[in-house]
Amino acid sequence: MPSQLTRVTALHYLAPLRAGGSVPGIVETDDLGTYVVKFTGAAQGHKALVAEVIVGELARRLGLRVPELVLVDFDPAVAEHEPDTEIQDLLRASTGLNLGMDYLPGARDFKAAAPALASVDPLEAGRVVWLDALTANVDRTRANPNLMVWHQRLWLIDNGAALVFHHRWSAAPAAVDRVYDLSGHALGGYSPDVPAADAELAPQVTEELLREVLALVPEEWLAPEEDGFADAAELREAYVRHLAARAAASAHWLPREFATEEQLRAAEAARTRRSQAGRPAWLQQVPDLHGER
C-alpha cells in the first residue's frame, strides 16, 4: 500500500452532484483521471474528509472495494463557467487541497430492493456491516445506502459521516464499546454473517495498520488544538488508540439483528405519527419535510 495518497491538480470542473448535501463535483485532473471531489468548503467541514480517508483506506486494507482516493489541488478558476452562485461560493471556499474519489463510469446506486444489481454473499455483507459498526457509521441505511454497483460488484462510498466520536473527543473513551443501531443497515436483508467477519477482520485492525492509515490524512485537515491535543501527531495517535481499542472490544458491539422491510416501514409510520402529533388540525395531512432526507 502507498505511504501517501496521490496528489493531482484539477484542470476542468465538469458538473456538480446535487444528490448529496455536500454537493461534490466531477472534476478532470492532470493525471488524465476523472474524480468525484468532496470540497473542504462544504458545510460538513474537514472532519468529514478525515473520516473519508480513514474509513475508506481502512476498508481497502481489509479487502473491501473503495474507489481510489486522491488529494486534489483545486483552483476555483477552473470552474468559472459554473452558473450557480451558491456552488461558486463553495468552490471559492475550497481553494487548495480537497479529496477526490475515482469516478466509476456507468456505476449505479445500490438499491436493496433490487438484489440482481449486485452479488452480495453473507460474508461480504457481514464485512461491510462490521466495518460500519467499528467506525460508528450509521449512515449506510436502506434509505441511504452509500453503496455503488460497478461491474456487478459492491463499492463503498461516502464514509464522511463515520467516526462520530471525533466530534467530541472528551466523550470518546465512553464510545469504545458503544453499541450503534445498525438494524436498518443497507445490507441487513442479505443475511450478513457478522460473527464470521469479526473473526476475520478484528485481528487485522492493529495499531500498526491504523498508523499506516492515519499517516494518509493531510496535516492541514487536522485541528489538534481545537480537539484538545498538543499537535497532529498526538491527534493521529488518539485515532489509532480509539479504533484499536474498539476492534478489541468487538464482542460488546457486534450487530446481530436487522429489521425487515415491514419493520422499517412500521417504524417510519410511527415516526410520522409522532411528528404529526400536536400539530394544528389543518397541518395533520402535510408531510413533515424536516424528517425527510
In a domain, residue 24? The reply is yes
Instruction: For residue 153, give Cα distances in angstroms to 66, 110, 143.
Output: 11, 10, 20
Kind and range of the H or E run holding 267 = helix 261-276
In a domain, residue 131? The reply is yes
Q: Which 8-state DSSP code applies to residue 84?
A: -
* HSE-CB of 132 using CA atoms within 13 angstroms: 31
Order of strands across the sheet that contains 153-156? 108-109, 147-150, 153-156
d(CA 99, CA 171): 28
Helices 122-134 and 46-61, interaxial angle, to 10°?
140
In a domain, residue 271? The reply is no
Using the structure block, give the residue that is written with the C-alpha cell 441511504: 144
Alpha-carbon torsion, ordered 69, 70, 71, 72, to 10 deg: -110
d(CA 159, CA 141): 12
In a domain, residue 204? The reply is yes
In a domain, residue 108? The reply is yes
Give the pLDDT confidence score for residue 292 in this predicted structure: 43
Domain housing 41: 6-253
Distance from chain centroid for Cα 62? 16
d(CA 169, CA 163): 11
pTM for this model (two decimals): 0.90
The per-residue pLDDT string of the chain (293 residues; one tens digit each, 9 = 90 and over) reads 767 999 999 999 999 998 767 899 999 999 999 999 999 999 999 999 999 999 999 999 999 999 999 999 999 999 999 999 999 999 999 999 999 999 999 999 998 766 555 679 999 999 999 999 999 999 999 989 999 999 999 999 999 999 999 999 999 999 999 999 999 999 999 999 999 999 999 999 999 999 999 999 999 999 999 999 999 999 999 999 999 999 999 999 999 999 887 887 787 777 777 777 766 665 555 555 444 44
Residue type, 254: L
Helix (H, G, I), strand (E, B) or coil at 222: coil
Pairing of strands 69-74, 153-156: unpaired
Residue 229: CB atoms within 10 Å: 17
Total number of domains constituting the chain: 1
